[in-house]
Structure 1
């Protein structure tokens, strides 16, 4: 049976099972089972047991539930209110004023969360009511939050980076280090767009608050100290080579528990809620990863990744052509799947092709994170759009429209990363030397 027919059958099975409402992790396992039963001589049951156990018992994966739990703990603290109070005085003189709190707030919270949805929801709960009360334009407030919320994936620690590192066998610590400069640059691009938009529409920006002295600004910023110390402890321990990503995640959980206790928001109820919230999210991700590992093995036995890589090689695409093709592929895929599913579902097929094209897996990891960020604001399955719809009660189409300029800015970011790969590779190279 030719490859096209096999591929068509497996894709049809995937969408049929997904459409029937079966969980994504079980769907991936089901498609892998069908593939191995029909097109491979190896017993599917034996392969599934070995593969799922191997993927679930990976020590590298331990960082994932710990970072998720850390984000859940901070999600239930007074961090968001303190963050707005500390940031607002410094934004008053920038074009766009308090609209920048969405970008800066998301960038800061991303450095202790790792989740795009948690970043978007936490900062949104704080900023949207405040911006509406002060008279800032609704579309810009929602759009900038939708775009900036995706920084939760790019600025380390990042759940997607851990998933990519595990599935593509790339150092998670190196990925974390590589994500710092692109994350900061994307935040600056978002803020630059807000400033330019505000200069073009000055009538839509409310007047500045009464001026504050430097001492008053510094006094207001004291509330940022705990979260800055936590970021320094988690990321600093990785960059200094003191801790692995898993050990830093454990340090982050301990620090967030201490921070929550000092704020007075650590009760038995919030502790249980954070633990259960983190457990539920991790179990969902772990099931997807297990199903994807089995599907990757099945694809290997059938030979599809090798044949796909050979087919793409016959197209004679340049590296830029391949990146362009993959960007379009992931943006379309993002219309139907969440980011984690996109990564784990495609890595087994895509990585041989990427390596054959001579693309650095570390660079490709950050590229993947950017295109998954695009998927977060792409209807109909953009997670950030759903989060904002629940918070604002607006139509999903309206929210997608407000986020579209930030989607285009992410496309610009991909172009910049291709033209200047040093943005990604500079810090990891410095750490090695």
Structure 2
């Protein structure tokens, strides 16, 4: 009977998701259905308490702050400056400017925390530039799609914050744990580009200009703002000076200062970045609230215990 209820609720969840209902509302609906039909607890009261508890966590404050920081940086010249600073150093490496996608995504992931923002921001600059220089479109888009996922892993990752709040574990420790795997994955992406370029020697266009070491060092000045912002955020967390939430606030201030310094901070930019972060956070918060209530509902019905016994 318990197994039938479990699969029935799973089917109800998939039916709601398939009908186009928002994920958070679908989770809330299934949780309410299970609690109303199979428990004696008042579903409305439990839902109100659970949603408030899931939404009022101080740790969760880091999430909208990092989202806002990413939205601000999305509207600055940060990505184009990274391309200018990185491209001269990659002339001799097999695959040449394809590595800009990987390195650019790795660097931007360390300041945005979002795979979507990382992929969109870096792609906005690199795709037209690489197409203009004659790079194959399939490998260009492929390297961007692969490296764009680094935003999930390299701190300050939005997903890590969501997981840390849901699982009640230290977000700072999650951030520390994501650095080496992120760098390792980026290195593997670059290694594959090298292998692909060696196997397809005619696919990568020749360098149109050669730069001296002095010119490369001069071009590297474009990387200074983003490196300072990374150092501000991650350095404050790893040294124990700030918590993840406080580091998020520092990141917002740093991104606003960076945008103002570049001359791209206007009232329209400020408003659009704030509204964009608000919309994205509301979506994530609704999913968190729905999952918290569904978890509570499953617990009252005893489904996790019965399912574990059945699997055992």
Query: What TM-score, normalized to structure 2?
Result: 0.98
In 2: Cα distance, 1:209 partner to 1:228 partner: 28
In 1: Cα distance, 2:87 partner to 2:168 partner: 41
Q: What aligned pairs does 1:203-242 form with structure 2 within 5 A after superposition? A: 203-242=202-241
Does the 8 A contact of 1:162 with 1:172 survive in 2?
A: yes
**Residue of structure 2 in register with 1:133 after alignment:** 132
**Residue of structure 1 in register with 2:155 after alignment:** 156
In 1: Cα distance, 2:160 partner to 2:260 partner: 29
**Residue of structure 2 in register with 1:172 after alignment:** 171
Deviation, structure 1 residue 266: 0.1
Larger Cα-atom Rg = 2
**Secondary structure, aligned partner of 1:150:** helix
In 2: Cα distance, 1:187 partner to 1:246 partner: 26
Q: What aligned pairs does 1:95-106 form with structure 2 within 5 A after superposition? A: 95-106=94-105
Does the 8 A contact of 2:55 with 2:289 survive in 1?
A: yes
In 2: Cα distance, 1:92 partner to 1:115 partner: 29
In 1: Cα distance, 2:153 partner to 2:106 partner: 9
How many residues end up aligned between the 2 structures? 312
**Residue of structure 1 in register with 2:256 after alignment:** 257
In 2: Cα distance, 1:149 partner to 1:65 partner: 20
In 1: Cα distance, 2:2 partner to 2:100 partner: 51
Deviation, structure 1 residue 45: 0.9
**Residue of structure 2 in register with 1:52 after alignment:** 51
**Residue of structure 1 in register with 2:34 after alignment:** 35
Unpaired runs of 5+ in structure 1?
315-433
Deviation, structure 1 residue 20: 2.1
Does the 8 A contact of 1:63 with 1:249 survive in 2?
A: yes
Deviation, structure 1 residue 3: 2.4
Measured on the aligned residues, the alpha-carbon RMSD in Å equals 0.9
Deviation, structure 1 residue 39: 1.4
**Residue of structure 2 in register with 1:290 after alignment:** 289
Deviation, structure 1 residue 302: 1.2
Deviation, structure 1 residue 41: 1.4
Note the alpha carbon deviations across 1:291-315, whole angstroms, 9 max, x for none: 1110011111112222333344x2x
Note the alpha carbon deviations across 1:248-292, whole angstroms, 9 max, x for none: 000000000000000000000000000000000001111111111
Query: What TM-score, normalized to structure 1?
Result: 0.71
In 2: Cα distance, 1:58 partner to 1:20 partner: 31
Does the 8 A contact of 1:71 with 1:118 survive in 2?
A: yes
Deviation, structure 1 residue 129: 0.6
**Residue of structure 2 in register with 1:4 after alignment:** 3
Q: Which has the higher contact order (CA 8 A, sep 6+)?
A: 2
In 1: Cα distance, 2:290 partner to 2:99 partner: 40
Q: What aligned pairs does 1:228-377 form with structure 2 within 5 A after superposition? A: 228-312=227-311, 314=312
1:192 aligns with 2:174: no
**Secondary structure, aligned partner of 1:202:** coil
Runs of 4+ in 1 over 4 A off after TM superposition: none
In 2: Cα distance, 1:128 partner to 1:305 partner: 47
Note the alpha carbon deviations across 1:109-165, whole angstroms, 9 max, x for none: 000001101100000000001111111111100001000000011100000000100
Does the 8 A contact of 2:233 with 2:248 survive in 1?
A: yes
Deviation, structure 1 residue 8: 1.5
Does the 8 A contact of 1:92 with 1:209 survive in 2?
A: no
In 1: Cα distance, 2:98 partner to 2:257 partner: 31
Does the 8 A contact of 1:52 with 1:293 survive in 2?
A: yes
In 1: Cα distance, 2:26 partner to 2:162 partner: 18
Note the alpha carbon deviations across 1:164-206, whole angstroms, 9 max, x for none: 0011111000000000000000000000001001100011011
Note the alpha carbon deviations across 1:299-343, whole angstroms, 9 max, x for none: 11112222333344x2xxxxxxxxxxxxxxxxxxxxxxxxxxxxx
Deviation, structure 1 residue 80: 1.1
In 2: Cα distance, 1:309 partner to 1:122 partner: 44
Q: What aligned pairs does 1:378-397 form with structure 2 within 5 A after superposition? A: none
**Secondary structure, aligned partner of 1:175:** helix
**Residue of structure 2 in register with 1:368 after alignment:** none
Note the alpha carbon deviations across 1:220-246, whole angstroms, 9 max, x for none: 110110010000000000000010000
